[in-house]
Amino acid sequence: MKITKIMLPDKKKAIKDWLIDDRPREKLRTKGPESLSHSELIAILLQNGTHNKSALDLAKEILLLGKNNLNELGKISVKELTKIKGIGEAKAVTIAAAMELGRRRQAAGFIEKPYVTDSTSIAGYLQGVLKDYELEVFIVLFLNQANKVNHTEVISKGGITGTVADTRVILKKALEEDAVSIVLCHNHPSGRVRPSRADEILTQKIKEAAKYFDIRVLDHIIVSEEGFYSFADEGLL
């Protein structure tokens, strides 16, 4: 009886030496991107490997650095990526750019819903935008009369435990955008969403200052990977 030997790609070979159907780029072209593993998709971004490692080997190391989780990988800096032997700055920047595009695509699904209806819709958008930041970021949504988001802007970036938002900068931008109302937003990288006393004071300060320009502060939402906190829902506005 004749036994047919199944040939698997030799992982020690360069990808260009693999059978055509096993090469990630050709596999994507013929079978579609959904047929590729995470590591195969990253290998396409890397384009090539090193003398001792294929692009797929490097891709697996990159995934391992992110605990084999794309959300965790999105938090890894260019500097951290270059610590992997064979990953120079160009490859690291390419991976970081791909992660950023993925993050923006996720956020875009919420941006296409231009009307703010409740805290849940705002929080969903913000979690997509802010989840990869390891530092606190303060964002303001500028809305028109119909509660449509005209503009979103990062006002400040801070440290692990806090950030500072300048009331004058926020209101100046609100006037430039002809905003009728605004929503204040920031993240808590620690995971806890309860506001600090400083958060409460800042919210009231901005709310009172905005009144002089007939601009309403609809909400202040704090988000983390674990959930969100709405000042409006909790009766603090």
113-160, pLDDT tens digit by residue? 457 788 888 888 787 777 667 788 899 999 998 888 888 888 888 754
Residues 6+ apart with CB under 8 A from 197: none
Averaged pLDDT for residues 76-101? 90
Question: Considering the entire predicted model, what is its pTM?
Answer: 0.56
Averaged pLDDT for residues 188-207? 88
Stretch (H or E) spanning 218: strand 216-224
- Hey, where are the domains in the chain? 15-106, 116-230
Q: Both tokens of residue 216? A: 């309403």
pLDDT band at 26 (very low <50, low <70, confident <90, very high): confident
Q: 92 — phi, psi (to 5°)?
A: -65, -40
- To the question of domain 116-230 being in CATH 3.40.50.300, the answer is no
Stretch (H or E) spanning 223: strand 216-224
pLDDT at 163: 63
Q: HEC profile for 84-129?
A: CCCCCHHHHHHHHHHHHHHHHHHHHHHHCCCECCCHHHHHHHHHHH
Q: HEC profile for 140-184?
A: EEEECCCCEEEEEEEEEECCCCCCCCCHHHHHHHHHHCCCCEEEE
What is the rounded distance in angstroms from the CA atom of residue 30 to the CA atom of residue 114? 37
Averaged pLDDT for residues 168-184? 93
Query: Out of 99-113, 115-129, 169-183, 221-235, which region has the weakest mean confidence (pLDDT)?
Result: 99-113
pLDDT of 194 above 70: yes
> Across the chain, what does the average pLDDT equal?
82
Helix axes 119-130, 89-111, angle to 10 degrees: 170
What is the rounded distance in angstroms from the CA atom of residue 112 to the CA atom of residue 122? 12
Closest residue by Cα to residue 188 from 161, 165, 164:
161
